[in-house]
A and B are shown apart, each in its own frame.
Chain A
Amino acid sequence: MIAQARRRVPPATAIALAAALAAQLAWRLAEPAAPSAEGMAAAPSPAVLRLASLGEQQAMARLVMLHTQALDDQPGANTPLRQVDYAALAGRLGAALDLDPRSQYPLLAASRVYAAVDDPARIRTMLGFVASRFGEDPARRWPWLLEAQLAARYRLQDPAQASGYAAQLAAAGAQVPAWARQLAHDQPQPGELAATRAVAGALLQHGMVRDANEARALDSRLQALEPVRPDPGRRVR
């Protein structure tokens, strides 16, 4: 058996290794910071996405969603939603939904995240996306149209559009639970907070919110709508 004796490394080699490592670290530190966020490019064609997925279309749909989120949600480099190209965004959400029609992720992102922008045109783009994809699978997608109806009524102040969405929900018949159709029909509530509470409460009560992250986001949204109350411990001067 050949004994493997460890030889001492020549000092020059060790110094060269340390110097090369230091040079690499210095090079990376000296590089200018990456641009805040690349623009929201249009989604690749469905055929390209299917081919790239190697048969795992559902996994590719999640990757498209996470990449889309990353474009406007990079830590320290947030791109305000007002600067995002919403036509490209709707294309990406549509591509993700085409790859995995059973997923609710793109519709939730459209109705809860991207429709929360302070720009009526962009809100309409997202609500239009949700409404246009509702008819393909009303039994699974009605919660997002219910929320779109809420946004149309209170954020856009457009009762005609809200009534149109309520009519879409009603037309789906038994595929949408009776309580949801009733909730859409009964609105308006006195203010956005009350209406959002009513919808969120009903969704929670009927077990429609099963994901912990989704529940936390819903709670944060309700808290954000709460009017700011003066701190009782602080004396008002």
Chain B
Amino acid sequence: MNQCATIAAMTLREAARNRLHWLLLLLAVCAAGLAGLLQQLTLTETRETQALLLSAVLRLAGAGIVACFVVTSMVREAQDGSMQWLLALPIARPVWLLGRLAGFGLFAASVACVAALLCAPFAAMADLGHWTFSLLLELWLLAAFAAFAALSLRHPVPALALVAGFYLLARSTATLGALGRTRDGAATDGLPGGLAWALDALQLLLPRLDLYARGEWLAYGVRDSGLGALAAQAAIYIALLLAAALFDLHRKEVG
């Protein structure tokens, strides 16, 4: 447990060394500018428009920052040999991976808190709580996938491309699935049957990230956020990614 906490603390220190707090501050300044601009541009529903657009931008920016940090951190550690050095110590590999994920999770929590603070003027507290918690779940999911991609591919550009593809597909898989099938379940006219089945398979394989951190909760209030189901989906998928990453990690030689 102590080893896990130490590795998590090292990960957080690395985030601070990378000047990521300045990046979050810059994000805050840009978000305040966007909110001010929208205040001037809207004809009506100013608060709702600010809540919707600001939350959408912060969600995308938060996902980008977390994914870039996780991938570059994991790849750097593999390339400069510190991962091999750590794994040669009497630390179990699952403990090392859990420590790293805990550090990334804490960093993701700080990103979610900054996003929540910036959206706070435009939403009710209870709605903001739902949104922030589900954003945190989404960022944890993404951090786990980014760690898995970086461990497997070992190079930053392919890993980042894979994470971006995963994120975009996971946020649009429901729409793609709806486009691929008519209401009675048949493949849409003109769409090859194989493609419709591939879209179905994609829906089964990916979590529905479009259900997380929905801006409409901030604009119109939460009716039924289904936070329990979102948390369960995040737990299942993070466990899957952790198992896949461990499977890959156990196959690696310690140099």
Contacts and interface: CB of A to CB of B under 8 A. Distances in A.
A82 interface: no
Nearest to A55: B210
Contact of B209 (A55, A104, A217): A55
Interface in A94-149: 100, 102-105, 108-109, 112-113
Could you tell me the dominant secondary structure of chain B's interface residues?
helix
Nearest to B49: A62
B171 interface: yes
Interface size range on B against A:
20 to 34
Nearest to B37: A66
Given A51-B176, A54-B172, A62-B52, A105 B45 contact: yes
A6 to B, nearest CB: 19
Contacts of B216: 58, 100
A187 to B, nearest CB: 24
Given A54-B172, A55-B171, A62-B53, A108 B44 contact: yes
A211 interface: yes
B233 interface: no
A56 interface: yes
Nearest to A51: B175
A55 B44 contact: no
Given A59-B215, A109-B43, A213-B43, A54 B52 contact: no
B211 to A, nearest CB: 8
A52 to B, nearest CB: 9
B195 to A, nearest CB: 15
B137 interface: no
12 contacts: A55-B172, A55-B214, A59-B52, A59-B53, A59-B55, A59-B215, A69-B43, A103-B48, A105-B44, A212-B46, A213-B39, A213-B43
Interface of A: 47, 50-51, 54-56, 58-59, 62-63, 66, 69, 100, 102-105, 108-109, 112-113, 211-214, 217
Interface of B: 39, 41-49, 52-53, 55-56, 59, 168, 171-172, 174-176, 179, 209-211, 214-216, 219-220
